[in-house]
Structure 1
Amino acid sequence: MKIAIGSDHGGYELKEEIKKTLEAEGIKYKDFGTMNEKSVDFGPIAKKVAESVADDKYNRGILICGTGIGMSIMANKVKGIRAALVNNVFSAEASRAHNNSNILCMGARVIGAELAKMITRVWLKTEFEGGRHKRRIDFISDYQNAD
């Protein structure tokens, strides 16, 4: 599995912690920025991560900002992306099992590092259940693809 990861300045410190978790799990990743705590807009970083996942260059993505809201809004503008803003372990699992989320968004000012690491591990290991959930995901894809 290959992960695209990115954050703005508000999520930088938590992103660095999540990268350690990915390394501990033996998961390859590419960091799309930011590379420090200097103020930066979240939009371009979210766009790069989301496009790399939508283009199948990476299996999934992780985006972190202060609340996770801006990153999730931007990522969901990219066709083929199902970015889930997650603040607890149950939602992390459900976002994968039922919604086949391909980008995990978290807020560094909302959750602590230990919870974020647990969320990340659960999100990474949970597979999409398919079945009745596939029909719902197909509806979203069909809507996105309609012109």
Structure 2
Amino acid sequence: MQYKADSPEDYILQLPEDRKAPITKLNNLIKKHMPKDLEAGMGYGMLAYYVPKSIYPNGYHCKPFPPLPFINLASQKNFIALYHSGMYAKKELYDWFVSEYPKHCKYKLDMGKSCVRFKKMDDIPYDLIEQLLGKMSVEEWIDIYETAINK
């Protein structure tokens, strides 16, 4: 679902009641444990955690005017989605997450290349997400990103 929000606070205010608490908890967790030098705000209609232009002035190659995205969080129609670009770009990180997930959650993993979908609001593996946030630095993300776009 798309929300017309100019700030993370406005985004959260527009959410259905059953989504406000888990999105707020995830947002706070991400802001507390995200890699150093990321900034939080809005991007692509979602909560966004990105590499600021002061660190990476080139921005995102598809649309160079926004900063380089790294993590996004969204409330979709049937689930909460956590997008982590590092899992898409680094197979070892993806494989680690897939292998760890069953140790933290009783429901089957519902995941694309970078998107983890949480359909059960009471079974979001916050501790696993906290661990994921410490697995890649901004510098590593920029290196992986530049290697991929320069091929």
Larger fraction in helix: 1
Normalising by the residue count of structure 1, what TM-score does the alignment of the two structures yield? 0.38
Normalising by the residue count of structure 2, what TM-score does the alignment of the two structures yield? 0.37
